[in-house]
Structure formats: C-alpha cells, structure tokens
Amino acid sequence: MAIDYSELIPNNVNLSEDRVLQRALEKWQPHFLDWWKEMGPEGFQTKDVYLRTATSVDAKGWATYGMVKMPDYRWGIFLADPVADRKIGFGDEFGKPAWQQVPGEHRSTLRRLIVTQGDTEPASVEQQRLLGLSCPSLYDLRNLFQVNVEEGRHLWAMVYLLHAYFGRDGREEAEELLARHSGDVNKPRILSTFNEPIDDWMSFYCFTYFTDRDGKFQLKMLAESGFDPLARTCRFMLTEEAHHMFVGETGLGRVVKRALEVMNELKTDDPAAVRSAGAIDLPLVQKYINFWFSSALDLFGADISTNAAGYFANGLKGRPDEEQYQDHICREGTMRLEEPTEDGMAITPIDVPIRNAMNAIARQGYIKDCDIGVQRWNRLIRKAGIDFEIKLPSERFRRTVGTWAGFHFTPEGQPITAVEFEKRLSGWIPSSADRAYVRSLMKQVTAPGKMAGWIAPPDRGINNLAVDYEYVRL
C-alpha cells in the first residue's frame, strides 16, 4: 500500500476515512513535536540533515533520501501490507484467523506490551540527545540523527495502535509516552536501562549493536502476534531497525580497525601505548562489550517465566521467526536450561516446560545474532596479525534479572564469590578511569570527510554518496 504524503500525518492506513481517529492523532501530533524539540537532539534542530524517509513499505526500495530539518521530518503511520487470511501461528489459538480487533480478554496485556515497547522508542532519543555535540564525523552525526528520527517514528507506530484500538485509555497512554522522560526522578521511563544517559560514542555504538538488537528480537516476537495490526506494524519497524544495528556493528568495527592501525604503526600491543596515541585499545572495547551485552540480556526477562508462557499460549507474542519451528503449540515437552546451586558455586541442569522457557529461547537466538558481528571484528584483528580475540561474555555474567541474578560469575561463566567479583569487576567492565579516558576523546569533528582520531572512516558513504559528503549542513 502506498504511503499518502499529502496528509498532515503521512500514512498507509487510510487515516482520512476515520475522521475521529484522524482528529485524535492530529491533536497528539503537536505534543509530539514539542517533545521532539525539547527532548530531541540538542543543537541541530535548524540544520539540514541527509535523511531517509519511508516511501512505501515493501522490502525493496522503500526509502527516499534528501536534506531535511529534523522537526520537518515526515513521521507517520506505516504498516506492512496485510497477509490475506492470516492465521494465528502459535499457541492455543493456533490456526484461527488473526484478530483485526483487540480481543477483550487480552486487552490489558496487549496494551501493556505496546506501551512497554513504545516507551523505549522516545527513551532512546532522550538518552542520546547530547551526543551530536561530540560527534566523530558528519557521517556519524547523520547516522545518529537517522536513528533518532526513526525511533521517533517507532513511537508513532505504537501511538497509532493505542489510539486506533484502545479507546480512551489508549489515548491517555499515548500522552504518558511523552510525559515520562529518561532519567527523570519523578516520571522515569519504564525499563531501567532506558534511564541511563548515553553520553559517549562507544556507548552509542554498543547501544545500537546490543540494545537495538534486543529491540529487533522483541519486534520479531510481536511481529508474530495474533493481533494483526501489531504484527504488521512491527514487521515494518524491523526493516527500519536494521540500519540501527548497522550503525552499531560498523561503528565498533571502525573503532577496532583504528586500534589495529595504531598497534601496527607503533608495533606494540600495549594498551597504554594505544591510548597515548589517542585510540581505544582492544581490551577496553571488550570491557564495553561485557557491560552492554550483559545489560541487554536482562531485557529478555526471567529465564523461566509464566508471563512469557501466557503470552505464547494466548497468541500474543511468539518466538522470533516462529515458522522455523515444527511444533507451534508447545503444550508438551521440556527444554533443558541451567541454574546455579543454592550456594551459587556450581551449575546444575533443569528441565523446564517449553512454554515457560520462551524468554530463554529468544535470548539464545539473540546471543547467536550478537556473535555474528563479533566474529567479523575478530576477522579484522586476525587479518592485521594481532593476537587478540573479542568474546561475548557468558550469559551468567553480571546479570540482574533471571536465574543468574544475585550470583556471581566471571565473564567466562565460572562461579565466584561476591567479594572476588567486586574486586575484579573494574577489570571486566569500563572503570571510571576508562570512562574518563573515552570521554576525553569525545571532541566534535565536523569538517566533511574528517574523522576523530579514535575511529577509522567507514568503507562507504550513505546511499552511494562519498564519505566526505556534507551529510549535515552546519
């Protein structure tokens, strides 16, 4: 379905045919814009940015590129095309027609799922609002803003569902999505990770690599939902999301590449020497990965979860890529997981009814997906002739949610005491000195084509343009 850009709110849902809904969303729109101007990227609202905008929702050629001032970005409502006669693909309702309206008995659960997803979208914009002031290049600045405007659009996606399908309480929730703010003591965002500021670019690349990838898996699960409008919304969001993870993967890859260049120039693998040359040493990259990976794992929830079992049984939230499985009902059978012994000093297997293990299943898919980029970075390292291997830490490491929370493990997954963990932690995740060093590198670079000294240039520019194209006109 083509997107109608002649409307105040671009959309492909025939919004003009539902005057009541249209008016309600047109009332929300200025509130969104006020939020964007107040909480969005600081210092660049009047600048031209080379951004992509969705023009259709099919996988090929859905975007158009051009110079846009961010407040003029055409945020709108874009759903993937409907699948004719779509059936519910899993759970107790398997094979029944997908719902075009919210079933009464699942109303509050669906609303909560949508609000929780929706809350993360503007939260990340708020977390990243000062990053532009320390961008390593115009190319990166543009990518940051692309991610930011698309997270704004993802908020639109969830707000549309709330307005269109949840009546008055949906409209109230939509207002609340603009009223909570990341890090606000009185009205924080729902999930704690989304209340931490992201104030350096290493954290931004890790966020887009690890946290946005959690988002991808959440969207994949919701894209299976029996509630068809939610499924279609999430399917289109996934195509936008891919760029965010590209920014993370290539960003971290370029940091690694720069470290390797410096190591080879100076003929040393001494981290201190790499730092004195103004680059980010590989052990420090590993520490950032340890930090962000472990906090992203928590976002999947408890390993053994009756909530997750309920979402699956009721057809609300499936497994990522549900069709890859043989059994979509999962009423029988177990899955083998692990848990710590009571004293936390050993690991034992545990068999869990498969429906109760849905979070663990999604998390395992996520871990595999995370490792793909890690292996790419390791290829760069090997090619440079350097003896170092980046590794994802064990899923037991530094967890605050699920089976491993409250116990202590090394990044390799070995049980240790709390005392030893505290003693060694600053060797595993960025210490305050490490963070101060990274902060000292964060100086804005804005000459077209120029890169900060701690990051290598990208292999190519955006949309076939040169790397030294003026992606943001300052």
**Of the two residues 150 and 298, which places its CB atom closer to Fe ion in the complex?**
150
How many C-beta atoms lie closer than 10 Å to residue 195's C-beta?
A: 18
Question: What does the alpha-carbon distance between residue 152 and residue 430 come to, in Å, rounded to a whole number?
Answer: 30
Binding range to Fe ion, per CB under 5 A, among 116-124, 162-170, 181-189, 376-384: 116-124
Quickly tell me which residue has 């970075």 as its tokens: 377
**Of the two residues 245 and 277, which places its CB atom closer to Fe ion in the complex?**
245
Best CA proximity match to 356, nearest among 321, 402, 395: 402
Tell the smallest beta-carbon distance from residue 212 to Fe ion (Å).
4
46 burial type by CB count under 10 A (0-12 exposed, 13-18 middle, 19+ buried): exposed
Footprint of Fe ion on residues 226-245 (CB under 5 A)? Answer: 241, 244
Best CA proximity match to 257, nearest among 279, 237, 239, 283: 279
Structural tokens at position 218:
């959440």
Tell the smallest beta-carbon distance from residue 466 to Fe ion (Å).
26
Tell the smallest beta-carbon distance from residue 219 to Fe ion (Å).
8
Tell the smallest beta-carbon distance from residue 211 to Fe ion (Å).
8
Q: Give the CA distances from residue 473 to residues 18, 367, 445, 447, in Å, rounded to whole numbers and listed in that order.
A: 39, 39, 13, 10
Instruction: Report the side by side order of strands in the sheet with 48-54.
Output: 63-69, 48-54, 472-473
Contact yes or no for 220/320 (Cβ under 8 A): yes
**Of the two residues 140 and 151, which places its CB atom closer to Fe ion in the complex?**
151
Footprint of Fe ion on residues 328-347 (CB under 5 A)? Answer: none
Footprint of Fe ion on residues 244-283 (CB under 5 A)? Answer: 244
Tell the smallest beta-carbon distance from residue 438 to Fe ion (Å).
22
**Of the two residues 347 and 362, which places its CB atom closer to Fe ion in the complex?**
362
Can residue 355 be called a binding residue for Fe ion (CB under 5 A)?
Answer: no
Structural tokens at position 434:
């490490």
Best CA proximity match to 244, nearest among 161, 157, 358, 149: 149
Contact yes or no for 89/323 (Cβ under 8 A): yes
Tell the smallest beta-carbon distance from residue 8 to Fe ion (Å).
23
Q: Count helices and strands (H / E) in the chain.
A: 13, 5
**Of the two residues 144 and 337, which places its CB atom closer to Fe ion in the complex?**
144
Q: Which residues pair with 336 in a beta bridge?
A: 351
Tell the smallest beta-carbon distance from residue 103 to Fe ion (Å).
26
**Of the two residues 124 and 286, which places its CB atom closer to Fe ion in the complex?**
124
Question: What does the alpha-carbon distance between residue 188 and residue 78 come to, in Å, rounded to a whole number?
Answer: 28
Tell the smallest beta-carbon distance from residue 142 to Fe ion (Å).
16
Footprint of Fe ion on residues 360-419 (CB under 5 A)? Answer: none
Tell the smallest beta-carbon distance from residue 336 to Fe ion (Å).
33
Q: Which amino acid is at 138?
A: L
Helices (H), 88-227: 107-127, 138-165, 167-179, 201-206, 212-222
Footprint of Fe ion on residues 413-472 (CB under 5 A)? Answer: none
Contact yes or no for 135/472 (Cβ under 8 A): no
Which DSSP category does 402 fall into? Answer: S
Residues with Cβ < 8 Å from 423, sequence gap 6 or more?
none
Q: Indicate the length of the chain as a whole number.
A: 474
Tell the smallest beta-carbon distance from residue 417 to Fe ion (Å).
38
Structural tokens at position 447:
């000459």
**Of the two residues 147 and 284, which places its CB atom closer to Fe ion in the complex?**
147
Binding range to Fe ion, per CB under 5 A, among 57-65, 206-214, 395-403, 447-455: 206-214
Residue 89, φ and ψ in degrees, nearest 5: -95, 5
Binding range to Fe ion, per CB under 5 A, among 27-35, 210-218, 320-328, 465-473: 210-218
Binding range to Fe ion, per CB under 5 A, among 5-13, 143-151, 268-276, 315-323: 143-151
**Of the two residues 151 and 434, which places its CB atom closer to Fe ion in the complex?**
151
Tell the smallest beta-carbon distance from residue 459 to Fe ion (Å).
22
**Of the two residues 211 and 314, which places its CB atom closer to Fe ion in the complex?**
211
**Of the two residues 125 and 467, which places its CB atom closer to Fe ion in the complex?**
125
**Of the two residues 128 and 314, which places its CB atom closer to Fe ion in the complex?**
128
Binding range to Fe ion, per CB under 5 A, among 25-33, 144-152, 181-189, 462-470: 144-152
Binding mask 148-167 for Fe ion (x = CB under 5 A): ---x--x-------------
Structural tokens at position 275:
């730092």
Tell the smallest beta-carbon distance from residue 462 to Fe ion (Å).
17
**Residues in contact with Fe ion, total (CB under 5 A)?**
6
Which position among 93, 212, 224, 228 is part of the footprint of Fe ion (CB under 5 A)? 212
Question: What does the alpha-carbon distance between residue 116 and residue 214 come to, in Å, rounded to a whole number?
Answer: 13
In the complex, the residues that contact Fe ion under the rule CB under 5 A are 121, 151, 154, 212, 241, 244
